[in-house]
Amino acid sequence: MTWDDITRFASQFDCLSLAGGMQRAMQLADAVKCEHQRSGGWPSERKELEACLSFECRTWQHCGMVPSGDDLAYIQALYGRLKG
C-alpha cells in the first residue's frame, strides 16, 4: 500500500463529523494512538478508527509531509485494520 492509497481511502471519512469537532478528533486520535502503542489493541467502534485514520492523514497533508518510520507504521496498521 502506498501513501496515496491510504489518503485516498481516508478521504472517504470526515474526522470532524465522526468525532464531533476538531478538538474531539484530536483527543480521540491521541488516545487511540497511545493505547495502540501501549497494548497493540484497537477500539471496537469502526467509526473511531475511521475518524483516527482521517485525522492522521489530514494532519500530515496539512503539514505538506509524508509520514515515515513509526508514524507511517502506525498509519499503515490503522489502514490495515480498516481494510482487513
* Contact call for residues 35 and 41 (beta carbons, < 8 A): yes
Residue 84 has pLDDT above 90, yes or no: no
Kindly report the pTM of this predicted structure.
0.94
- Residue from 49, 84, 56, 54 nearest 70 by CA: 56
pLDDT tens-digit readout, 11-52: 999 999 999 999 999 999 999 999 999 999 998 899 999 999
Contacts 24+ apart (CB under 8 A), 38-45: 42/78, 42/81
Structural domain for 36, as ranges: 3-83
Number of domains into which the chain is organized: 1
> Which pLDDT score, from 0 to 100, does residue 44 have?
85
Q: Round to whole Å and give the CA distance between 59 and 38.
A: 22
